[in-house]
Structure 1
Amino acid sequence: MRIAYFTHSLVSCWNHGNAHFLRGVLRELTRRGHAVMAYEPDGAWSLQNLLRDHGAVGLSAFHGAYPELDGTSYGAIEPVVDAVADADLVVVHEWNDPALVAALGTARKHGAPYTLLFHDPHHRAVSDPEAMRRYDLSGYDGVLAFGETLAAIYRDGGWGERTFVWHEAADTRLFRPPPEAYEPRRAGLVWIGNWGDDERSAELERYLFRPADSVGLPLDVYGVRYPDAARETLARYGVRYHGWAPNAEAPDLFARYLATVHVPRRFYVERLPGIPTIRVFEALACGIPLVSAPWDDAEGLFSPGEDYLVAADEPAMEAHLRALANEPELRRSLAASGRATIEARHTCRHRADELLAIAAWLGGDAHEDRDAHEAPAAFEIYGAHEVPVAGYGPDAVDSPGTPEHAA
């Protein structure tokens, strides 16, 4: 198959945690012999920030880990739409210009032969519905939503059986336990995540900074968009802040520590339950014990208590961290169970299989019967509580409303 994926950026993971999943799936499709092209806009916000902070050397980890992949940048929309005219499958990430989304849909309605899918791996359907209403999806064949609660919003909006749950997953070709026995060298805690817009600052203190300090476990933090106030908080708790780390280097980072902690954003706790961020898949794939702040695995993706521990409150988090520091067998058990679950159900190989199956189904009777299943003219929200967020867009380089595609 000839497959085109329109992403915000494939080469940059700066504040773009979804890059891990996209890279893994596209690599898997490439290894299976499909002709895969990734397109990203000139001046992509994530790439601009990465180059500003680290220069071209910041891209070396991506190129070293994914030699099979490269992104093709584009400027004007019409030529790139023409460039994919002979594709069999086109997938468009939701962090794209509405004009591009509409142009591809228009080409599809005017006879482009490919199956066209909109991929939504974000919380803006509930956090910023006005931004989502800018997308004209009337020419699309289906929607890929990264969790059941998000998929339900699209179904209620008129997409029905053409809404597909397509969870994120781990690229286990890269995210895996270290090849040698690191256990004697592991020490302390690591947290990989971006600060963002203060939407979980209280939770980070409650479930990460204070418990680590109380238990006496050194804590290292990696991520971007930490304002001065956030760095002051880290310093107050003795946390070592390292700034951005390439996503491709995360497995090596995990291998140095006893455990990591998952602190989900409030949108994923209160509004989109059951959707884990990529950090859960990454940690379990790498065989590092994970403790999560309260999070409802509503879809039964994992086995809480076996694959990872859940802390109902701050004292419980302290107890879990103390146990992990003192019980090697507990660490080994969690690491083995979490890794086994990833291998059995949540690899990029599984998601590639799912994507190809979806494309095959839509390419059959459903594809031929488009008029009987006309899509909504634009994304609409029915029954969702609207919580508007400040401005959005790739041009808003330092805007507090910039969407977070990372844990």
Structure 2
Amino acid sequence: MNDPMRIVFLGLSLTSSWGNGHATTYRGLIRELDARGHDILFLERNAPWYASNRDMPEPPYARVILYENVADLKKRCEEAVAEADLVIVGSYVPDGVEVGRWVQEKAQGVTAFYDIDTPVTLGKLERNEWEYISPDLIPEYDLYLSFTGGPTLRRLEREYGAPRALPLYCSVDPEIYYPATMAPAWDLGYLGTYAADRQPTLERLLIEPARRWPSGRFVVAGPMYPDKVRWSDNITRIEHLPPAEHRRFYNNQRVTLNVTRADMVQLGYSPSVRLFEAAACGIPIISDYWEGIDELFDLGPELLIADTPVEVLDILEKIDPEELQTIGRRGRNRILTQHTAAHRAAELETYVEPLISSRGLIAPERNTTAAQPGAKPV
């Protein structure tokens, strides 16, 4: 796409990564869109739990407006939404149904719903829980951009009437996540917020192996774990790890663990941000299995699968260290060729370009900005 767009995002958070993975995704995608010459405005509800934990209060690649409620959003941002070439509403936006209806009423450009939580969304729709998207809104969005690919995309079109459902997976920034030479502090680690449906797998693939291997060194980083969880003495706990510390955390592990939410396992084709971050650091990964993971990685040469504590311990104790490092390097190469934030920005342009062109939405007087410094046409 040679013409820069004015893009408005309405997302859960860009300024704070506390307790959510949305900020990391938005930061990478928006930074790359900005690098390609697009003008980005991010609209975010001023939630108190994020206000006290803003690790990026002023992103260098986007303007941010913090609004107090839907009435404040409508009052302050109607013109920006109406004039944008592309308006993207994300999952888990507070009052997302009302916000989505307003966007569809006011936006003159292309509208898209970006579902960073597709398995959760489908579960909510089946239970008639319309927290941030409702069945009547889906057909009105021009695009349904999904963190989950595979058969789920056709389901969104067939059952919910999405005009066009397309994958826009999470991604990673290779300038932030890359290998480092250091002696690892831990044999196996895990990074993730507590989730009840994920905890049994964490118990099976890290906590139980730690109990069986007292001399091993383990670590779990992430908030919201209840007091009832029993950690053995050889497991280090880190309550919150901001994105700026993720790379060092991964590089401090000999092997890292990926654990997938139950809804994501059921649908398949749902890679996590943490999976790509760890792979970009060149760290060998042990993951639980789900359909579609073998389309993202070559299982064995690039990523290891385990289902039991014994399988985890066999990997940690029996696989030659050099072979583990080779697996990590292969996994990193896969990420660099297919799953960076730059790849996602280019994919988004490819999705939007036909709609922009067919509607003649980018005014000729703004097309000249493509030649300005910073604009990077595809």
Segments of structure 2 that go 5 or more residues without pairing to the other structure are 361-378
Matches within 5 A, 1:324-339: 327-339=320-332
Q: How many residues align?
A: 342
Matches within 5 A, 1:51-200: 51=51, 55=52, 58-60=53-55, 62=56, 67-69=60-62, 71-75=64-68, 76-79=72-75, 80-96=77-93, 97=95, 98-108=97-107, 112=108, 114-122=109-117, 123-129=119-125, 130-132=128-130, 134=134, 136-148=137-149, 149-159=151-161, 162-178=164-180, 181-182=181-182, 184-196=183-195, 198-200=196-198
- TM-score scaled by structure 1? 0.78
**Matches of 1:139 and 1:297 in 2, distance apart?**
29
- How has the CA–CA distance of structure 1 residues 299 and 156 changed in structure 2, closer, same or farther, with 3 Å as cutoff? farther
Mapping 1:384-403, distance limit 5 Å: none
Distance 1:8-1:228 versus aligned 2 partners, 3 A rule? same
Question: Distance in 1 between the 2:357 and 2:92 partners?
Answer: 28
> How far did 1:69 drift?
4.3
Dislocated runs of 4+, deviation >6 Å: none
For structure 1, the 5+ residue unaligned runs are 369-407
Q: Distance in 2 between matches of 1:92 and 1:345?
A: 25
Determine the C-alpha separation between the residues in 2 that align with 1:88 and 1:126: 28
Q: Residues of 2 paired with 1:35 and 1:50: CA distance?
A: 24
User: CA shift at 1:138, angstroms?
Assistant: 4.6
Judging changes above 3 Å, is the alpha-carbon distance between structure 1 residues 363 and 157 closer, same or farther for their aligned structure 2 residues? farther
What do the CA deviations read for 1:93-145 (whole angstroms, capped 9, x no partner)? 0111211111001123xxx1x11100112122333222346362453211101
**How many Å separate the matches in 1 of 2:165 and 2:78?**
24
1:238 Cα shift? 3.9
The answer as to whether partners of 1:224 and 1:244 remain within 8 angstroms in 2 is: yes
Partner Cα separation in structure 2 for residue 137 and residue 291 of structure 1: 36
Q: Does 1:208 align with 2:201?
A: no
Contact 2:144 2:162 in 1 (8 A): no
Q: 1:223 aligns to what?
A: 222
Give the Cα–Cα distance (whole angstroms) in 2 for the partners of residues 310 and 226 of structure 1.
25
Instruction: Check whether the contact 1:105–1:137 (CA below 8 A) recurs between aligned residues.
Output: no
Distance 1:74 1:242, change over 3 A: same
CA deviation profile, 1:232-290 (whole Å, cap 9, x unmatched): x12x4642211011123201211212111011111112x21121111111110111111
After the TM superposition, which residues 238-249 of structure 1 pair with which residues of structure 2 at under 5 Å, given as runs?
238-249=234-245
1:307 matched to 2:302: yes
Give 1:243-262 correspondences, 5 Å limit: 243-262=239-258
Q: Give the direction of change, closer, same or farther, for the CA distance of 1:115–1:240 in structure 2 (3 Å limit).
A: same
Read off the aligned partner of 2:134 and give its amino acid letter. R
Residues 102 and 34 of structure 1, relative CA distance in 2, 3 Å threshold:
same
Identical-pair percentage: 27
CA contact (8 A) 1:212 1:321 kept: no
Mapped to 1, the partners of 2:344 and 2:357 lie a distance apart of 20
Q: TM-score, normalised by structure 2?
A: 0.84
Contact 2:202/2:259 (CA < 8 Å) preserved in 1? yes
Partner of 2:368 in structure 1? none
| RMSD (CA atoms) | 2.2
